[in-house]
Amino acid sequence: ELVLKVRIQTPNLRENDFIEIELDRQELTYKELLRVSCRELGVNPEHVQKIRKLPNTMLRKDKDVARLQDFQELELVLTVSDKNLLFRVSTLSEQSGYNKKASELTY
């Protein structure tokens, strides 16, 4: 598996944490990256204008995705002008795999 850090580009929010996603190394395609990223972040793939490898490289094709390395940081740049979209996205607690007890642990 290839582990990547992904987030939605939101320059106006103070906190914009990354989530980690896993991609099968046998299926490293742009389409699969888009599908998994959107599913994990709760975004409609039709609203994604581009995927940016930080700090400033746009991913365009399967070969670009194949060159990614573990823990590289990516952003989904959305085309939707409705700024409220981000607040309509399902919260982490609504997504499968979310562990509420783990989120309440204090260190």
Return the CATH class of domain 2-78.
alpha beta
Longest dimension (CA), the chain: 42
On whether the CB atoms of residues 5 and 71 are closer than 8 A, the answer is yes
% the chain with pLDDT above 90: 65
pLDDT of residue 100: 47
Mean pLDDT of 36-52: 94
- How much is the average pLDDT of 57-85? 86
pLDDT of residue 105: 52
Residue 52's φ and ψ, nearest 5 degrees, are -110, 130
For the chain, report the end-to-end CA distance as a whole number of angstroms: 29
102, 32 contact by CB (below 8 A): no
Residue 81 pLDDT: 55
Contact 51, 59 (CB under 8 A): yes
Residue 80's pLDDT band (boundaries 50, 70, 90)? low
Q: Domain boundaries in the chain?
A: 2-78
